[in-house]
Structure 1
Amino acid sequence: MYFESRGIRLHYRRWWVENALGVVVISHGLGEHSGRYRLHARYLNAHGYSVYALDHVGHGLSPGRRGDIEDFDHYSADLCRLIHLVRHENAGVPVHLLGHSMGGVIACASAINPVGDSSIASLVLSAPAFVGCSEPGVVEGALVRLLAKVYPSLSLSNRLDAQWISRDPEVVDAYINDELVHDRVTPRWFDGYQRARDCLLARPEDIKVPSLLLLPGSDRLVDSSASREWFDRLPGNVHQLHAFPDAYHELLNEPQAAEEAMALLVAHLNRFSESSSRGIPAQRAAAGS
Structure 2
Amino acid sequence: MAGSGSRSKDRVWASPSHESGSTATRSSSEPLSFEVPFTTAREAVLVVGRQRLHLRVWQPPKPRDTILMLHGLESHGGWFAPLGPRLARSGHRVVAIDRFGSGLSDGRRGDLPDWRLLTLALQGAIQAFAEGKEIYCLGYSWGARWALAHAVAHPRDLSGLILMAPAFFVQRSYSRAARLFALATKELPLLLRMPVAEDTLLTNRPEGLAQIARDTLRLNSVTTRLLFQSGRMERIYTVPGKPLQMPVLHLVAGADRISDNTRNSTLLRRRVGADHYTETIYPAADHALMYAPDDCDVAGDINRWIQAICDRAQPWSIRLF
Structure 2 distance, partners of 1:230, 1:207, is 12
Check if 1:98 corresponds to 2:138: yes
Name the structure 2 match of 1:239: 277
Check if 1:68 corresponds to 2:105: no
Check if 1:125 corresponds to 2:163: yes
Check if 1:23 corresponds to 2:66: yes
Deviation at 1:120, TM superposition (A): 1.4
Name the structure 1 match of 2:194: 158
For residues 3-47 of structure 1, the C-alpha deviation after alignment (integer angstroms, 9 at most, x for no partner) is 211331211121222332221111111121112222312111111
Structure 1 distance, partners of 2:294, 2:238, is 30
Contact 1:21 / 1:273 at 8 angstroms: preserved in 2? Answer: no
Contact 2:161 / 2:248 at 8 angstroms: preserved in 1? Answer: yes
SS for the counterpart of 1:148 is coil
The structure with the larger Rg is 2
Q: 1:1-289 maps to which residues of 2 (within 5 A)?
A: 1-87=44-130, 90-91=131-132, 93-114=133-154, 119-149=157-187, 152-160=188-196, 161-203=198-240, 205-233=242-270, 234-259=272-297, 261-276=298-313, 278=314
Fraction of identical pairs, as percent: 23
Aligned CA distance change for structure 1 residues 195 and 52 (closer, same or farther; 3 Å): same
Deviation at 1:143, TM superposition (A): 2.7
For residues 233-267 of structure 1, the C-alpha deviation after alignment (integer angstroms, 9 at most, x for no partner) is 122402100122322111221255332x2221110
Q: Name the TM-score, length of structure 1 as normaliser.
A: 0.86
Aligned CA distance change for structure 1 residues 274 and 119 (closer, same or farther; 3 Å): farther
Bigger drift between 213-222 and 130-139 goes to 130-139
Q: Name the TM-score, length of structure 2 as normaliser.
A: 0.78
Contact 1:213 / 1:241 at 8 angstroms: preserved in 2? Answer: yes
Aligned CA distance change for structure 1 residues 184 and 73 (closer, same or farther; 3 Å): same
Greater share of helix residues, 1 or 2?
1
Aligned CA distance change for structure 1 residues 206 and 73 (closer, same or farther; 3 Å): farther
Gaps of 5+ in 1: 281-289
SS for the counterpart of 2:126 is helix
Contact 1:156 / 1:185 at 8 angstroms: preserved in 2? Answer: yes
Name the structure 2 match of 1:284: none
Deviation at 1:169, TM superposition (A): 2.4
Size of the aligned set, in residue pairs, is 271
SS for the counterpart of 1:179 is coil
Deviation at 1:137, TM superposition (A): 4.3
Structure with greater contact order relative to length (CA < 8 Å, sep ≥ 6): 2
